[in-house]
């Protein structure tokens, strides 16, 4: 990323054109591979991929049995990433998954404080 920014600053927009083409080809390959397994959901595939590229979190809500877990699993496998699934319940909060951060005043022993998120099942 820093290399691309340096190229852009030194040589302008045209310096990134080869990288844009390569990235576009790679993303189209990922989308094509995912569409072979997830049928009839091209918009959802693109949105999920955009979320991953933006380094965001993705919450997929839909009816049971429509391929939510399969979509996540396919994208993770296609991109060489790890797949973990969390089954939500109505009383589950984001802090239960991500943990919490507690502000500690300087000079106080912080060795005993930590955040412990919930565990997810690996598939």
Residue-wise pLDDT for 14-24, tens only, equals 766 777 788 88
Give the chain as a DSSP string.
-HHHHHHHHHH-GGGGHHHHHHHHHHHHHHHHHHHHHSTT-HHHHHHHHHHHHTT--------TTSSHHHHHHHHHHHHT---EE----TT--HHHHH-------TTS--TT----PPP-EE-
Residue-wise pLDDT for 31-82, tens only, equals 999 999 999 999 999 999 999 888 887 888 889 899 999 999 999 999 888 8
More confident residue, 73 or 122: 73
More confident residue, 101 or 13: 101
């Amino acid at each position: 990323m820093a290399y691309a920014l340096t190229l852009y600053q030194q040589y302008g927009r045209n310096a990134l054109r080869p990288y844009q083409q390569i990235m576009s080809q790679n993303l189209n390959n990922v989308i094509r591979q995912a569409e072979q397994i997830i049928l009839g959901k091209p918009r959802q595939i693109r949105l999920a991929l955009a979320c991953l590229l933006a380094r965001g979190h993705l919450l997929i809500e839909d009816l049971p049995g429509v391929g939510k877990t399969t979509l996540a699993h396919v994208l993770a496998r296609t991109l060489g990433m790890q797949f973990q699934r969390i089954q939500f319940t109505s009383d589950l909060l984001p802090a239960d998954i991500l943990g919490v951060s507690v502000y500690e005043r300087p000079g106080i022993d912080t060795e005993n404080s930590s955040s412990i998120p919930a565990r997810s099942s690996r598939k």
